[in-house]
Amino acid sequence: MKNFMRWLQRSPENKSVHEKHAHTIEGRAEHMLSPVLMNLVEELQQLAVGRAEELLSQLCVGLRSGSKDVDRYRAAENLTAALYPKFKFSEYGRLFLEDRAFLAYYRRFMDAGNWHSLDRKYTLNQLLKLALPLAGDMAECGAYKGMSAYLMCQALQSTGRLVHLFDSFEGLPAPSKWDGDYWTSGALRIPESTLRETLKEFDNYRVYAGWIPERFAEAQERHFCFIHIDVDLYQPTLDSLEFFYPRMCTGGIILMDDYGFTTCPGAKRAADGFFTDKTEPIIMLTTGQALVIKQ
């Protein structure tokens, strides 16, 4: 408590309050703060020995009205470094975070407050620019709610080409021994109607409902410039690569959504094994994705 009161005295945003009520502030601290808040402060002092005052000050910087954007960013970086040091902040001021049109698209389809795939969706959208001039259709294995499919349909709009979407709409199959214990059978189940609602403004796509690879044969005569594989597990990742790789045009892109995540060890194992005897390298991205460019 004494350490916290010293912080209250030194903190700029609390200085005027302390000067005005110096004769009562220490004796009546319990009346100023709720018991829950006091307990949290005391716990913080125990968990972050020697840093509690610094962290509280950073929190105030981040919440204070009128703080500069860069100061809020640095406060968030400092707080994150204390709470989850494995996460490394990138440089301040990345322009993709200012892309209002893309942020509006993301908010439109994603659950409120979930920004987990923003960087991956942005990366996919940028890579579509490289694939668009190439010959062939696009495909996605694991369409889920259709957010990635939306970008692919948008890219191929008015080209006469199609986006082929494969999903069980039953969730994930049973994980194999290579897949760890993060995923369970039936996870990520979503009805086909949700996908079609997302894509209601497009007509340049086909949906193949069924377990991968049961319906791949229906697209065996097509060729592709872009494939998005987002199936999380070993076997469907391997099945997708085995089918689509030989049907890729030269320069075509295979983007794997799950390759760089500890939660999807089977997806990485499948890709590493498949490309062992291929000439193309797997390029892992900082987003957790990986891409291959067909030679």
221-267 residue pLDDT tens: 999 999 999 999 999 999 999 999 999 999 999 999 999 999 999 99
- What domains can you pick out in the chain, each with its CATH number? 2-83 (no CATH), 112-293 (3.40.50.150)
Please give the share of the chain, as a percent, with pLDDT higher than 70.
89
pLDDT for residue 148 is more than 60: yes
Whole-structure pTM over 0.85, yes or no? yes
Give the lowest-confidence range in 33-47, 76-90, 129-143, 255-269.
33-47
pLDDT in tens, 25-68: 454 555 567 888 888 888 988 888 888 888 899 999 999 999 99
Is the model's pLDDT at 13 over the cut of 60? no
Cα–chain center distance at 55? 27
Would the pLDDT of 179 be above 60? yes
State the residue for tokens 């295979």. 254
Cβ(53)–Cβ(7) below 8 Å: yes
CB within 8 A of 66, min separation 6: which ones? none
Is 60 exceeded by the pLDDT of residue 11? no
